[in-house]
Structure 1
Amino acid sequence: MTLTTARLQAILSEITDLARASDSPGKVADYIPELACIDPRQFAIALARPGKPTLVAGDAAVPFSIQSVSKVFMLALALGKMGDRLWARVGREPSGQAFYSMLHLELEKGRPRNPFINAGAIVTTDAVLQGASPSEALGALLRFVRAAANDDDIHMNERVAQSEIATGHRNFALAHYLLSHGNLANTPDLTLGTYFHQCAVEMTAAQLANAGLFLVGGSDAPRLVSPQRIRRINALMMTCGHYDGSGDYAYRVGLPGKSGVGGGILSIVPGVASVAVWSPGLNHYGNSKLGTEAMERFARLTGWSVFGPTAASGQTGG
Structure 2
Amino acid sequence: MTSSCRPSADDPAALSAALAGIVDRMCRDTDRGKVADYIPELACVDPRQFGLSICLCDGSQLNFGDAATPFSIQSVSKAFTLAVALGRFGEGLWRRVGREPSSNAFNSVVDLELEQGKPRNPFVNAGAIVVTDEIMAGRAPRDALAEILWFVRAAAGDNDIFIDESLARSEKVTGHRNWSLAHFLKSSGNLKHDCELSLGTYFHQCAIEMNCIQLARAGRFLAGLNAGDELVSSNHVRSINALMMTCGHYDGSGEFAYRVGFPGKSGVGGGIMAVVPGKASIAVWSPGLNRFGNSRLGTIALEELSLAAGWSVFSVD
Task: Give the TM-score, by structure 1 length.
Answer: 0.95
User: What is the aligned-residue RMSD (CA, Å)?
Assistant: 1.1
Structure 1 distance, partners of 2:140, 2:252, is: 34
**Matched letter for residue 48 of structure 2:** R
Q: Return the match for 1:236 from 232, 237, 243.
A: 243
**Paired residue secondary structure (1:34):** helix
User: CA offsets per residue over residues 226-258 of structure 1, 9 Å max, x none?
Assistant: 111111100000000000000000000001010
Please name the residue that 1:146 is paired with: 153
- 1:86 corresponds in structure 2 to 93
Write out per-residue CA displacement over residues 168-197 of structure 1, whole angstroms, 9 at most, x where no aligned residue. 000000000000010000000000000000
By how many angstroms is 1:155 displaced?
0.5
Paired position in structure 2 for 1:306 = 313
Is contact 1:77–1:141 with CA below 8 Å preserved after alignment? Answer: yes
Residues 148 and 213 in structure 1, CA contact (< 8 A), matched pair in contact too: yes
Residues 242-287 of structure 1 show CA distances to partners (whole Å, capped at 9, x for unaligned) of: 0000000000000101000000001110111101100000000000
Pair 1:131 & 2:135 matched: no
Structure 2 distance, partners of 1:279, 1:117, is 21
Structure 1 segment 40-51 matched on structure 2, within 5 A: 40-51=47-58
Question: Residues 8 and 85 of structure 1: is their aligned pair in 2 closer, same or farther, counting only changes over 3 Å?
Answer: same
Q: 1:28 aligns with which of 25, 28, 35?
A: 35
1:113 maps to a residue whose letter is R
Read off the aligned partner of 2:263 and give its amino acid letter: P
Once residues 128 and 72 of structure 2 are traced to their aligned partners in structure 1, the CA distance between those partners, rounded to angstroms, is: 17
Deviations, residues 135-178 of structure 1 (Å, cap 9, x unaligned): 11111011111110111111111111111011000000000000
Unaligned runs of 5+ in 1: 311-318
Say if 1:50 and 1:220, in contact at 8 Å, map to a contact too.
Answer: no
3-state secondary structure, aligned to 2:155: helix
Instruction: Please state how far the C-alpha of 1:10 moved relative to its aligned partner.
Output: 1.2
May I ask how many residue pairs the two structures share in their alignment?
A: 310
CA contact (8 A) 1:12 1:56 kept: no
Q: Say whether 1:185 aligns with 2:192.
A: yes
Larger mean CA deviation between 10-19 and 246-255 belongs to 10-19
For residues 185 and 51 of structure 1, the distance between their equivalents in structure 2, rounded to whole angstroms, comes to: 44
8 A Cα contact 1:214 1:223, kept in partner:
no
| Structure 2 CA distance for partners of 1:107 and 1:299, relative to 1, 3 Å | same
TM superposition score normalised by structure 2: 0.96
Alignment equivalent of 1:220, drawn from 211, 221, 227 = 227
Distance 2:26 2:69 in 1: 16
Which stretch of the first structure deviates more once superposed, 70-79 or 42-51?
42-51
Residue 102 of structure 1 is matched in structure 2 by 109
Deviation sequence 1:262-315 (CA, Å, 0-9, x none): 0000111011110110000000000000000111001011111111025xxxxx
State whether structure 2 residue 278 is matched by structure 1 residue 279.
Answer: no
Cα distance change of structure 1 residues 274 and 221 upon mapping to structure 2, 3 Å threshold: farther
Q: Which segments of structure 1 move beyond 4 Å, counting only runs of 4 or more? A: none
2:28 counterpart letter in structure 1? A
User: Displacement, 1:222?
Assistant: 3.8
Distance verdict in 2 for CA 1:219–1:139, change over 3 Å:
closer
Q: Work out the CA distance in 2 between the residues paired with 1:127 and 1:113.
A: 16
Give 3-state SS (helix, strand or coil) of 2:64's partner. strand
1:153 to 1:221, Cα distance in 2 relative to 1, 3 A: farther
Q: Where do 1:40-79 residues align within 5 Å?
A: 40-79=47-86
- Equivalent pair of 2:260/2:302 in contact (CA under 8 Å): yes
Output the CA distance in 1 between the equivalents of 2:57 and 2:303.
Answer: 22
Structure 1 contact 266–277 (Cα < 8 Å) conserved: yes
Partner of residue 209, structure 2: 202
Contact 1:60 1:205 in 2 (8 A): yes
Q: Is contact 1:213–1:222 with CA below 8 Å preserved after alignment?
A: no
Contact 2:96 2:190 survives alignment (8 Å) = yes
Q: Does 1:175 find its partner at 2:182? A: yes
